[in-house]
Chain A
Amino acid sequence: MPKDQSVLLEIRDLRIEGYSDEQWIEIIHGIDLTLHRGEVVGLIGESGAGKSTIGLAAMGFTRDGCRISDGTVEFDGMDLTSATQSERRALRGKRIAYVAQSAAASFNPAHKLIDQHTEAPLLHKLMTKAESQADAVELYRRLRLPNPEDIGFRYPHQVSGGQLQRAMTAMAMSCRPDLIIFDEPTTALDVTTQIEVLAAIRDIVEQFNTAALYITHDLAVVAQMCDRIKVFLKGDEVEEAATREMLEHPKEEYTKSLWAVRSFQREQKPRPPEGSTPLVSIRNISAAYGDVKVLNDVSFDIHPGMTVAVVGESGSGKSTTARCITGLLPPTEGEIMFNGTALPPRYQDRTKDQLRQAQMIYQMADTALNPKKTIGEIIGRPLQFYAGLRGADLKKRVDELLDQIELEPSKYYHRLPSELSGGQKQRVGIARSLAAEPSFIICDEVTSALDQLVAEGILRLLDRLQKDLGLAYMFITHDLATVRSIADEVVVMKEGKVVEAGPKDVMFRPPHHPYTDLLLSSVPEMDPDWLTNLLNERGVDNVGEAAAASSGGN
């Protein structure tokens, strides 16, 4: 049967305004978009590019404090900008569905999955409850969820993140909509889980000839999922082309710069000679939260001026290791040596100088900076606390630090964190840790919440600081591209154990440990055929598990 390829969604000269500082400011400057039935269009760009706003506008919806000021959004011949509230409500869920970034935040924790699934079909009176439940099970099966018969009767917190994201996709399919909007559906997932979700979404969209808008900042993901790509920058369209063409011959400078990301790579430092004292030495530590053992006999060394990347999926014990080093979670066994002497296990028992030597930079800069303090106060506090600086000396040193992180002192000194962008906040977090003049910094997923261009800026900054100040880094990440660009040594962790460790060049060269191999092969590549090839290699069912079992190299 030939697939229907008529135009489904047509957006013409869409302009959206946002309300801030008591006036309306245009944030989307006249966007056109045409979507045919069964087509998947990727919307990409940095944060603030307006991709999510456009995605929501395709449902005739704007966030609080935003309004559509001009243009039309025509869905199957009906203009959503002039439609009444009840007309639009009749479409949502039934003909247009939305899959949000965080499935965990979008499901109601108080109801079972299947009850939430059947809500839309019942509301729109498309099916009876029994029919809808049977259909849910069928969709769960098609999305390759384990135990499709039973999984719907669990609560959202009883299934894993990847499964929840697939259940969310199943829910979006419950009314067989003509259009699904995916807003960063895999951004919060590990690489190994991401593959399962990507494969599931791609299959189901193809099977039902559903059109989709796929919003993401991950180019490699877009390359797998989409027929066409549109690139946005600050509410303007930069360029549009079919996926392959766009990947091979980007026209605009901005698009090229997006493609060229991760060009940053620095030379690997040689290992220090055997027998030299490591700066930080983690010796056989085990740790537990209550009765649950989370770390099991973990050992590795960090030498002065070197970067050790600790990689693994969520739950592998990377962050727990960091908590043991900082003394937040005293290990049950083993010890942490710093410059050859053992550190007291609890941070409360450490001296001011020991605390000063090891600093930490957090993943979420939003929660790492006190929202009620100015940048000057935040960076100034460690100087005041450790070095006892006051008055003009303090101001001078804070200005120096702001210069060091490439933020203009006169402009940022009196600002609050909420007035800064994500990347700038992360820079302030770095400055705060530098203010203590440490010899060792733990970077906990410092770039994973940032766009690629911004993340690269942060990596370059960290690298420059390491050169200038001789810092040692412990770099916790699940992003192997980051590891490639900045690490000297790599430690792979799984289920609280070190699976493999060694210098970077050795680690990225086969043969690998099966788990390392699984991680490496799961990182999406720009090649549009990558996912298809990988799935063929691994066998389509239970992508992750099959690969974990066989671990055939590529």
Chain B
Amino acid sequence: MTAFTIIYFAFLITASCAAAFYKYKSALLLLFTLLCVSLLAGLLGGSGVLVNIAIGFGLLAAAGGISYAFRESMVQILPGEGAKLMRTAPLTAAFGLLVIITYVIAAVFAPVIAPFGEAEVVGASFAPADDVMILGGDQLGRDMFSRLIYGARNTVGIAMMTTAIAFTIGTIAGLVAASAGGWVDQVLGRIVDTLMAIPQLIFALLLLTIVGTSVVNLTLVIALLYSPLIFRLARAVAGNIVVMDYIEAARLRGEKTWYIIAREVLPNITAPLAAEFGLRFCFVFLAISALSFLGLGIQPPTADWGSMVRENATLISFGEITPLIPAAAIALLTVAVNFVVDWMLHISSGLKE
């Protein structure tokens, strides 16, 4: 029975009672469940497990606190509409935004932030973490932390580019199909069906083997493979808009199809497309990482989170968590983007409660 254990349980019991007294139902349930779990875990695993639980909750609380502070400061900083939007944002969305902003800063200012170069050999292979390399070294002795930061630039940057291209192709084709209808719609639809009939990863591997693996090829191939999904969404959403009377009015005015697509339809489908953009971005991101892991994505020595996992995978057998750090970076961004996407979907659906 250490002092820590005593403080730990004392805190939980006090907090549960306080929650019960002030009638915070969900907080009480959470704390009480935690108390029961801790009792069990403490009996089975000793105080070490309790320390881990405490650290976990401490991190969660810290994330919540930072998100709250971030949201409130945004409310103060942003002008009119932005402040109103932020005020109604849930904490998860604020957290997501914060994470995304952090990644963007890391990507943009990578050379400034990173202590070493992207391909610079600093120490021994698989050097353990110390004051020089705070996350240790990789299989060639390069600084893990620096490569992680450069990886943000490469992985996120390429994923962003790829998603943008996929959306441009998919949205334009979808809008044309919806507005033109008839045989144009049929032809585009069948092309898309064909593309979607082949499993994506295998098709990507095939195409990349044919055209060779460069960043440009990688971007284009994945953009091509993801555009059919965007096409289907854009076509479906635009299908609801093109039957509106204001589109009929525009047609009867003699407007060209291009004007109708760009000025009348597009502004009305941006909300679902933006939400889809966030989701799709995650998938593209994961696809690039998967391809890198398989060796057909971003090529060494360029730092990239997917290949970083593969290169350091051997460390797993020694109980080291180093290869999991880039994986965690991927996971964190995916979660963050989805938090923001959920929030945007909520806004665009117009739900009040």
A: residues with CB less than 8 A from B are 19, 22, 64-65, 326-328, 347, 350, 352, 355-356, 359-360, 362, 364, 367-373, 381-382, 385-386, 432, 436
Q: Indicate the member of B87, B246, B255 with the most A CB atoms within 10 Å.
A: B246
- Does B81 make an interface contact (CB < 8 A)? no
How distant is A322 from chain B, measured CB to nearest CB, in Å?
A: 11
A368 touches which one: B246, B268, B352 (CB < 8 A)? B246
B252 touches which one: A19, A355, A370, A373 (CB < 8 A)? A355
B245 touches which one: A350, A362, A385, A436 (CB < 8 A)? A362
A385 touches which one: B255, B267, B353 (CB < 8 A)? B255
A541 to B174, CA, bound (A): 53
A368 to B84, CA, bound (A): 29
Q: A385 and B254: CB pair below 8 A?
A: yes
- Does B346 make an interface contact (CB < 8 A)? no
A360 touches which one: B252, B255, B267, B353 (CB < 8 A)? B252
- What are 20 A-B pairs with beta-carbon distances under 8 A? A64-B352, A65-B352, A326-B252, A328-B248, A328-B252, A352-B254, A355-B252, A355-B254, A360-B249, A360-B252, A362-B245, A364-B245, A367-B244, A370-B244, A370-B264, A370-B267, A370-B268, A371-B268, A372-B267, A385-B253
Q: Which chain A residues border B246 with CB–CB below 8 Å?
A: 367-370
How distant is B347 from chain A, measured CB to nearest CB, in Å?
A: 14
How distant is B290 from chain A, measured CB to nearest CB, in Å?
A: 38
How distant is A358 from chain B, measured CB to nearest CB, in Å?
A: 8
A432 to B252, CA, bound (A): 12
A477 to B212, CA, bound (A): 66
Residues of B319-353 at the interface with A, using a CB-CB cut-off of 8 Å, are 351-353
A243 to B251, CA, bound (A): 49
Given contacts A367-B245, A370-B264, A371-B268, contact A381 B352 (CB under 8 A): no
Residues of B60-108 at the interface with A, using a CB-CB cut-off of 8 Å, are 84, 87
A369 to B248, CA, bound (A): 11
Q: Per-position contact with A for B246-262: 1 when CB-CB < 8 Å, else 0?
A: 10110111110000000
A19 to B251, CA, bound (A): 38
Considering only CB atoms, which chain B residue lies closest to A351 in the complex?
Answer: B254
How distant is B274 from chain A, measured CB to nearest CB, in Å?
A: 14
Q: Give 10 closest A-B pairs by Cβ, nearest first.
A: A372-B267, A368-B245, A65-B352, A362-B245, A367-B245, A355-B254, A370-B246, A367-B244, A64-B352, A352-B254
A364 to B248, CA, bound (A): 13
Interface contacts beyond A64-B352, A326-B252, A362-B245: sample of 4 additional A-B pairs, CB < 8 Å, sorted by A: A347-B254, A355-B253, A359-B252, A372-B267
Q: Which chain A residues border B84 with CB–CB below 8 Å?
A: 22
Q: A347 and B252: CB pair below 8 A?
A: yes
Q: Which chain B residues border A328 with CB–CB below 8 Å?
A: 248, 251-252
Residues of B254-306 at the interface with A, using a CB-CB cut-off of 8 Å, are 254-255, 264, 267-268
Q: Which chain A residues border B249 with CB–CB below 8 Å?
A: 360, 362, 368, 432
Given contacts A328-B252, A385-B255, contact A64 B353 (CB under 8 A): yes
A326 to B254, CA, bound (A): 11
A355 to B249, CA, bound (A): 11
Q: Per-position contact with A for B14-53: 1 when CB-CB < 8 Å, else 0?
A: 0000000000000000000000000000000000000000
Q: Which chain B residues border A350 with CB–CB below 8 Å?
A: 254
How distant is B278 from chain A, measured CB to nearest CB, in Å?
A: 21
Q: Chain B's interface: helix, strand, loop or mixed, by majority?
A: helix
Q: Which chain B residues border A359 with CB–CB below 8 Å?
A: 252
How distant is A365 from chain B, measured CB to nearest CB, in Å?
A: 9
Q: Indicate the member of B87, B252, B253, B267 with the most A CB atoms within 10 Å.
A: B253
Q: Indicate the member of A22, A326, A381 with the most B CB atoms within 10 Å.
A: A381
A370 to B245, CA, bound (A): 9
A65 to B352, CA, bound (A): 6
Q: Which chain B residues border A65 with CB–CB below 8 Å?
A: 352-353
Considering only CB atoms, which chain A residue lies closest to B264 in the complex?
Answer: A370
A373 to B241, CA, bound (A): 14
How distant is A391 from chain B, measured CB to nearest CB, in Å?
A: 18
A360 to B248, CA, bound (A): 10
Q: Which chain B residues border A381 with CB–CB below 8 Å?
A: 253
Considering only CB atoms, which chain B residue lies closest to A20 in the complex?
Answer: B352
A327 to B254, CA, bound (A): 11
A362 to B250, CA, bound (A): 13
How distant is A550 from chain B, measured CB to nearest CB, in Å?
A: 40
Considering only CB atoms, which chain B residue lies closest to A433 in the complex?
Answer: B249
Considering only CB atoms, which chain A residue lies closest to B248 in the complex?
Answer: A328
Given contacts A362-B245, A367-B244, contact A436 B352 (CB under 8 A): no
Considering only CB atoms, which chain B residue lies closest to A436 in the complex?
Answer: B253
How distant is B142 from chain A, measured CB to nearest CB, in Å?
A: 50
Q: Per-position contact with A for B185-207: 1 when CB-CB < 8 Å, else 0?
A: 00000000000000000000000
A385 to B251, CA, bound (A): 12
A436 to B249, CA, bound (A): 12
A342 to B200, CA, bound (A): 55
Q: Which chain A residues border B253 with CB–CB below 8 Å?
A: 355, 381-382, 385-386, 436
Q: Indicate the member of B84, B248, B254 with the most A CB atoms within 10 Å.
A: B254
Q: Which chain A residues border B352 with CB–CB below 8 Å?
A: 19, 64-65
Considering only CB atoms, which chain B residue lies closest to A353 in the complex?
Answer: B254
Q: Indicate the member of B249, B264, B267, B351 with the most A CB atoms within 10 Å.
A: B249
Given contacts A64-B352, A355-B252, A382-B253, contact A372 B245 (CB under 8 A): no
A370 to B268, CA, bound (A): 8
How distant is A74 from chain B, measured CB to nearest CB, in Å?
A: 27
How distant is B34 from chain A, measured CB to nearest CB, in Å?
A: 30
How distant is A554 from chain B, measured CB to nearest CB, in Å?
A: 38
Q: Indicate the member of A350, A373, A386, A436 with the most B CB atoms within 10 Å.
A: A373
A379 to B251, CA, bound (A): 15
A369 to B247, CA, bound (A): 9
Q: Which chain A residues border B267 with CB–CB below 8 Å?
A: 370, 372-373
How distant is B267 from chain A, measured CB to nearest CB, in Å?
A: 4
Q: Which chain B residues border A371 with CB–CB below 8 Å?
A: 268
Considering only CB atoms, which chain B residue lies closest to A373 in the complex?
Answer: B267
Q: Which chain A residues border B252 with CB–CB below 8 Å?
A: 326-328, 347, 355, 359-360
A64 to B267, CA, bound (A): 27
A356 to B249, CA, bound (A): 11
How distant is B181 from chain A, measured CB to nearest CB, in Å?
A: 13
Q: B268 and A347: CB pair below 8 A?
A: no
How distant is A348 from chain B, measured CB to nearest CB, in Å?
A: 9
How distant is B89 from chain A, measured CB to nearest CB, in Å?
A: 13
A385 to B249, CA, bound (A): 13
A369 to B268, CA, bound (A): 12
A386 to B87, CA, bound (A): 44
Q: Which chain B residues border A352 with CB–CB below 8 Å?
A: 254
A156 to B246, CA, bound (A): 29
Q: Which chain A residues border B268 with CB–CB below 8 Å?
A: 370-372
Q: Which chain B residues border A369 with CB–CB below 8 Å?
A: 246
How distant is A329 from chain B, measured CB to nearest CB, in Å?
A: 11
A350 to B254, CA, bound (A): 8
Q: Which chain A residues border B353 with CB–CB below 8 Å?
A: 64-65
A402 to B352, CA, bound (A): 34
A328 to B251, CA, bound (A): 9
How distant is B245 from chain A, measured CB to nearest CB, in Å?
A: 4
A385 to B264, CA, bound (A): 14
A19 to B245, CA, bound (A): 30
A372 to B263, CA, bound (A): 9
Q: Which chain A residues border B264 with CB–CB below 8 Å?
A: 370
A359 to B268, CA, bound (A): 24
Considering only CB atoms, which chain B residue lies closest to A63 in the complex?
Answer: B352
Q: B251 and A347: CB pair below 8 A?
A: yes
Q: Which chain A residues border B255 with CB–CB below 8 Å?
A: 385
Considering only CB atoms, which chain B residue lies closest to A66 in the complex?
Answer: B352
Considering only CB atoms, which chain B residue lies closest to A363 in the complex?
Answer: B245
How distant is B238 from chain A, measured CB to nearest CB, in Å?
A: 13
A22 to B84, CA, bound (A): 9
Considering only CB atoms, which chain A residue lies closest to B251 in the complex?
Answer: A347
A65 to B351, CA, bound (A): 9
Considering only CB atoms, which chain B residue lies closest to A358 in the complex?
Answer: B252
A326 to B251, CA, bound (A): 10
Q: Which chain B residues border A64 with CB–CB below 8 Å?
A: 351-353
